Amino acid sequence: MKRIFTAVCCISMLSVPVLAQKHAEKGAAGKTMTDQQFVDFAGQTDMVEANLGQLAQNVAAKQEVKDYGQMLATDHTNDYQQLTTAAQQANLTVPTAIDAEHNKALIGPMNALKGAAFDHKFIAEMIAGHTKAIAVYKKEADDAQNPAIKSYAEQALPVLQKHLQDAQGLEKNKPMSVTSPGAQP
């Protein structure tokens, strides 16, 4: 009986990572959001990205990362204005400050980094964040209840996709920053 119990426990423990992975694959994009929940998500995304973009301009080591930060700050500030307009048309409210969760998980830790350490973490966060945002925006573009919110999500997607591609490009260029002896500048 003890062996059977041990075997059942081992099988159960082995299945936990599989269940967690399936749950993670559904992620935020897998569950249906209300339009207000989407507006909250989009508003937080815009404010966090603009804030981190400004931070990158001040503390990043590489000029390419500073330039990417400038683009994020500009694009997400503009997007926040478009979100506000769409939300007003839909009688929804847009958050006006970064919430405690994002401050603790992203803003605080990123404020503690400088130079190359910041660049590395920032690029990784931008890839992860934009990947998640694209999935959520695609779902909202398909499922939004309000036409203004649906239109906003559709129009914002190409900018988010460009941000993701640019971040991935920065990540791929990272090892190329060291030139080999025979390389042409």
pLDDT of 37 above 50: yes
d(CA 42, CA 33): 12
What region does 113 belong to: left with phi over 0, alpha with psi -120 to 50, or beta?
beta
Residue 142 domain-assigned (yes or no)? yes
Q: Which two tokens stand for residue 23?
A: 């749950």
Residue 130 located in a structural domain: yes
In a domain, 180, yes or no: no
| Mean of the per-residue pLDDT values of the chain | 83
Q: pTM here?
A: 0.78
Residue 50: inside a domain: yes
Q: Which residues pair with 115 in a beta bridge?
A: 60
Q: Considering the domain boundaries, does residue 44 fall inside one? A: yes
* Domain membership flag for residue 62: yes
What's the CATH number where 150 sits?
1.20.1260.10
User: Domain containing 62: what range?
Assistant: 33-173
Six-digit token pair at 11?
């099988």
Does any domain span residue 119?
yes
pLDDT digits (tens, 9 = 90+) for 87-115: 999 999 999 999 999 999 999 999 999 99
* CA 149/CA 91 separation, integer angstroms: 10
How far is it, in rounded angstroms, from Cα 149 to Cα 84?
Answer: 10
Could you tell me if 132 and 49 are in contact, meaning their C-beta atoms sit under 8 angstroms apart?
no
Into how many domains does the chain fold?
A: 1
